[in-house]
Structure 1
């Protein structure tokens, strides 16, 4: 969804440091891929054991699916950027995996907004039972979100229909038809709206959550009930992840896009904006590794199931070890 421009920008004489492009960023994405596939694979396994008993769990399950899909696009980006394979792979990255990357990014942003609303309602109405949640509505809403984003993204694949060559794959926009470029621009506006709408939702909800927690603190400060306050503060992990992963990229993309579409920046400025964009894009990818901390911190069912899995593994390991020791000590 985000236009992928050549690092050289508008000036053919302006180039970037190949060591950064072909070594550093691929290594950073490799780190996220390894850590992310392990953590989200484990999270997916744990969520399979948890029933859809609340809106919160449904939203979390959608987030982990989105994260896994994003992570699966990383090997293609790594191989393409590091130039470890032929240039033909770059055409596939432009047409398919890059679109999936941004598709999953904005799905994650939407569900973080929904999770934030759910946490605000839980903070404002702490005694409301999760069983009273309208999970059917949440399931329908989740399906509609996936369908909407899929319908928004699919034309970006279909309309990237020019034959790839060694030259035009350097800039993904060159692979799009005229209507493809127009659709791409429309999608960018929609995605900007999605981000800023969820940005507003998260800021407003956390302002209200802070007020609710302060009221709770004033009511309980003389009772010595510090455990409840500590648990409640964990809810701020969501806004922390959102601001670390998504806010820097969406602020950086504005001047970066201007540097690529208007010949008003010096080469050094273009390069600086390119590296800022690439660095903040990596931070958005880091979201796939940070989301499991949200699950563990805020979802009691997830935490209980995960600890139960670890307990079973430790117990099995000890049992196997004791069996081996007994066999070794048994006389022939």
Structure 2
């Protein structure tokens, strides 16, 4: 896996990272939009008292990975603009570039857990009840972070070598032999993570879509809800594929240029530009995740509604003669309705 915003060519005379400035414009927009969305999500989750659900556990961990990416992007932008001092370039190669990939693969795994949990909510299987508990979600979150850090942190910890200062430098040039070997191993481990997570996303969303397709003969509001949910799940699946599949399609041949298996300078330059273009798509998930928070987390959606609609509608609950009226909020009604659906075996699908 590449742990830099730059690349190395097959020989010292091949420069492949001299066209990075146009990319910084897009990275700056992604950084600003992602920062606003992540801060808004953080505010909503902090103010929420109803976070005891598996879905919210995975979404909060997804938010943590988004913040790691947000912290790392300014260093990448500075290096790609060629305004970073030498020490900052070294810091980027050892720390901030690795944080980008820690965030990337943590996000991919947690998106897979979100898709799987959504399917389990719909099936309401009693045999799978244990893995829908909050304790299990927290345990799996710890396992995910431990796995990703085990794969990535050695790229930070393995000592680098001193090289003469120059304008265009590649992170591979800093690596010693051990670092290059771990670099190659990391790429294959991350590819395995991506393939397994993608299988979980596609299978889970496929089963959900099949379930929704079975509701096409329903009538009235139920059929409309199923149609809307089908569109939402299809869009989410398509967004996942667009963000992550192109990058992983060019990763392996690109890594071969770093390890000098591919020695053609022209091929190396084309693969580098393909890698940077597809990495930009992968980083774009930072802007899309807040949309997932809105659709998947009732507490997040409720806080946003309260923020932009200060005067919440209230409903008068049914009461017997002589009993005082009780004000019930929209959120409480929605929670009660969802509980009733679980009891009757009907699950409302919002995504």
Task: Please classify the TM superposition score into its range, dividing by the shorter chain length.
Answer: 0.7 to 0.9
Distance (Å, rounded) in 1 between the aligned partners of 2:37 and 2:5: 32
Distance (Å, rounded) in 2 between the aligned partners of 1:132 and 1:202: 17
How many angstroms does 1:174 deviate by?
2.5
Report which stretch shifted further, 148-157 or 69-78: 148-157
Report which stretch shifted further, 148-157 or 197-206: 148-157
Distance (Å, rounded) in 2 between the aligned partners of 1:140 and 1:300: 23
How many angstroms does 1:254 deviate by?
2.2
For 1:38, the equivalent position in structure 2 comes to: 36
Distance (Å, rounded) in 2 between the aligned partners of 1:103 and 1:7: 19
Structure 2: state its 5+ residue gaps.
313-351
Matched, 1:114 2:97: no
Q: After superposition, give the CA deviation of every residue in 1:200-228 in whole Å (9 maximum; x if it has no partner).
A: 1112222212211111223x1x4453432
- Given that 2:119 and 2:205 are in contact with CA atoms closer than 8 Å, whether structure 1 keeps it comes out as yes
How many angstroms does 1:309 deviate by?
1.7
How many angstroms does 1:115 deviate by?
0.5
Please provide the CA RMSD for this pair: 2.9
Distance (Å, rounded) in 1 between the aligned partners of 2:126 and 2:146: 34
For 2:226, the equivalent position in structure 1 comes to: 229
Distance (Å, rounded) in 1 between the aligned partners of 2:91 and 2:311: 40
Structure 1: state its 5+ residue gaps.
315-332
For 1:9, the equivalent position in structure 2 comes to: 9
How many angstroms does 1:236 deviate by?
3.2
Aligned length: 309
Cα distance change on mapping 1:164 and 1:75 into 2, 3 Å: farther
Q: After superposition, give the CA deviation of every residue in 1:9-55 in whole Å (9 maximum; x if it has no partner).
A: 2145544584x31x211111111111110111111111112332211
Report which stretch shifted further, 280-289 or 227-236: 227-236
List structure 1 runs of 4+ shifted beyond 6 angstroms: none
Question: What aligned pairs does 1:259-270 form with structure 2 within 5 A after superposition?
Answer: 259-262=257-260, 264=262, 266-270=264-268
Secondary structure at the counterpart of residue 284 of structure 2: helix
Cα distance change on mapping 1:42 and 1:224 into 2, 3 Å: closer
For 2:269, the equivalent position in structure 1 comes to: 271
For 2:318, the equivalent position in structure 1 comes to: none
- Given that 2:122 and 2:208 are in contact with CA atoms closer than 8 Å, whether structure 1 keeps it comes out as yes
Distance (Å, rounded) in 1 between the aligned partners of 2:77 and 2:5: 17
Question: What aligned pairs does 1:16-27 form with structure 2 within 5 A after superposition?
Answer: 16=16, 18=18, 20-21=19-20, 23-27=21-25
- Given that 1:88 and 1:164 are in contact with CA atoms closer than 8 Å, whether structure 2 keeps it comes out as no
Cα distance change on mapping 1:177 and 1:256 into 2, 3 Å: closer
For 1:303, the equivalent position in structure 2 comes to: 301
For 2:341, the equivalent position in structure 1 comes to: none
Distance (Å, rounded) in 1 between the aligned partners of 2:168 and 2:17: 19
TM-score, normalised to structure 1, is 0.83
How many angstroms does 1:313 deviate by?
11
- Given that 1:164 and 1:175 are in contact with CA atoms closer than 8 Å, whether structure 2 keeps it comes out as yes
- Given that 1:5 and 1:260 are in contact with CA atoms closer than 8 Å, whether structure 2 keeps it comes out as no
How many angstroms does 1:231 deviate by?
4.2
How many angstroms does 1:64 deviate by?
0.8
Distance (Å, rounded) in 2 between the aligned partners of 1:125 and 1:189: 36
- Given that 1:29 and 1:78 are in contact with CA atoms closer than 8 Å, whether structure 2 keeps it comes out as yes
TM-score, normalised to structure 2, is 0.79
